[in-house]
Amino acid sequence: MKPAIRPRDRDAVIQSLRAGVVPRSGQHLIQVGRHREIESLVGDIDRIADGGSSFRLVIGEYGAGKTFFLNLIRAVAMERKLVVVSADLNPDRRLHASGGQARSLYAELMRNMATRTKPEGGALAAVVERFISTTQAEAKASGEPVERCLRAKLEQLTELVNGYDFADVISAYWRGFETGNDQLKADAIRWLRGEYSTRTDARAALGVRAIVDDSDVYDQLKLMARFVRLAGYSGMLVALDEMVNLYKLANTQARSSNYEQLLRMLNDSLQSTAVGLGFVLGGTPEFLLDPRRGLYSYSALQSRLAQNTFAADGLVDLTGPVIRLSALTPEDFYVLLAKIRHVYAGGDESRHLLPDGALSRFMEHCAGRIGNDFFRTPRTTITAFVNLLAILEQNPQVDWTQFLGQIDLKKDTGGTADAVVDPDDELVNFRT
């Protein structure tokens, strides 16, 4: 007998699916297919935990399940004692900038820092305090002063960019921790989150000369990855979604600068120079393959991200930096509907609102309305299915068969209408 599903997990999944967004928790309850892709990313997580590094691009059509896949890997990483930082890119958050957008991305990543005990984010202070508590225990065991042990452990960070100031900020947090100075602790966390916009403010509050700015965001991520390992975690995974926003940048130089940062991350990963740090990035095929605006427009990235020439005719290679998500099959989609039905019932098979035959009938109706898109980009069909379950739950006197013909579905066109086009592009108005 399958165990009951906790109401909290059940509600988190159902509410998210009904709103057309990806659940932040409980993904394992509705995961179907893509076992080999998951195994490949789990191998990356193990490599990070062993002090290595990884870089993966998760490429799939809009609505194909990239965000769900990223959240699933995020949950697996936390279960394996990794710290996870995640964010969505947008016009105000990107990898490289000169107007604060890169620092804004870093601040969002740090605000969303999550661990197994704090999966919803906001775990930065807890990570710092775990480092301090561990150091205090070691100092007590060795008979050394706590500050000396603290400095000795942080010494290895000083070889990195901003390492000295990072160590000073952690020491400041410890002083606030010891003396009950909440303001000093808050100032230290603010610096670690990259929320200081001027060096003057940071120096007045903490006595440090540097701040996190647009030019050293990646260096700061490497520094944080080393620190979380000192705190007792296995490493750090950085999950970035909506990478297509880099593709949408109208300015050619801005795109190239961001692609150069990606190249630096990729090179460090391939050469294993980033300790305990991994990246998993979600984007569309256009973001990768477009030879004029995508990653393939940057020759150094194209050569490193090119598909294995032997991976053709149904053969796949999941060891390279690019993971191409295949569409769900109709069989996968049937299993997905069955799992959603089970979650809606709270894990109690006796409370299923639809028989097995209804799932097939629902799929046939969807196929008749929008064709194969119902399982290739299933967002709208899943939302319709959850809405149907909601009606049946609240109106037990009705028969599910009478509602099938009333389900109106439209193709999920995604963000195609939001694509930013360079007004100077000579081919904007080209039509075949």
Mean of pLDDT values over 354-378: 82
Measured N-to-C along each axis, helices 330-344 and 379-394 cross at an angle, to the nearest 10 degrees, of 30
Apex 270 CA angle, 54 and 313, nearest 5: 80
Q: What is the pLDDT of residues 388-417, one digit of tens each?
A: 999 899 988 888 887 776 676 666 655 544
Instruction: Report the pLDDT value the prediction gives residue 401, as an integer from 0 to 100.
Output: 83
pLDDT of res. 216:
92
Is 232 in contact with 49 (CB distance < 8 Å)?
Answer: no
Q: Do residues 88 and 157 both lie within one domain?
A: no
CA neighbours within 13 Å on the CB side: how many for 241? Answer: 18
Rounded to whole angstroms, the Cα distance separating 369 from 359 reads: 16
Q: What is the pLDDT of residue 181?
A: 96
Q: Label residue 425 by pLDDT band (50, 70, 90).
A: very low
What CA–CA distances, in Å, run from 378 to 45, 159, 327, 361, 371? 28, 48, 10, 16, 11
For residue 279, list its beta bridge partners. Answer: 55, 238
**Cα 330 to the chain's mean position, in Å?**
27
* Residue 431 lies inside a defined structural domain of this protein: no
The pLDDT assigned to 22 comes to 84
Average pLDDT over residues 193-214: 95
Rounded-to-integer distance, Cα 119 and Cα 114, Å:
5
Task: Give dist(CA 216, CA 95) in Å, integer.
Answer: 10
Does residue 285 have a pLDDT over 70? yes
Mean pLDDT of 226-242: 97
Contact indicator for 211, 191 with CB cutoff of 8 Å: yes
- Of 287, 308, 324, the residue that ends a domain is 324
Of the pLDDT bands very low, low, confident and very high (cuts 50, 70, 90), residue 2 is: low
Percent of the chain at pLDDT > 90 equals 68
The candidate with the shortest Cα–Cα distance to 78, out of 235, 244, 291, is: 235
Number of structural domains the chain divides into:
3
Helix (H/G/I), strand (E/B), else coil: 120: coil
Residue-wise pLDDT tens digits, 238-281: 999 999 999 999 999 999 999 999 999 999 998 988 999 999 99
CATH number at residue 303: 3.40.50
Residues 43 and 22 in one domain: no
Can you give the residue range of the structural domain that contains 379? 1-33+328-412
Instruction: Identify whether residues 226 and 173 lie together within a single domain.
Output: no
The answer to whether the CB of 193 falls within 8 A of the CB of 110 is yes
Average pLDDT over residues 373-395: 84
| Mean pLDDT on 12-32 | 88
Q: Which residue has the higher pLDDT, 367 or 59?
A: 59
Domain co-membership, 175 together with 238: no
* 119-128, 158-167, 178-187, 367-376: segment of lowest average pLDDT: 367-376
**Which stretches does DSSP call E strand in 261-385?**
277-283, 322-324
DSSP string, 128-188: HHHHHHHHHHHHHHHT--HHHHHHHHHGGGGGSTTHHHHHHHHHHHHHHHHHT-HHHHHHH
Let me know whether 132 and 197 are in one domain: yes
Across 20-29, 186-195, 299-308, the highest mean pLDDT is recorded for: 186-195
Whole-angstrom distance, CA of residue 286 vs CA of residue 293: 8
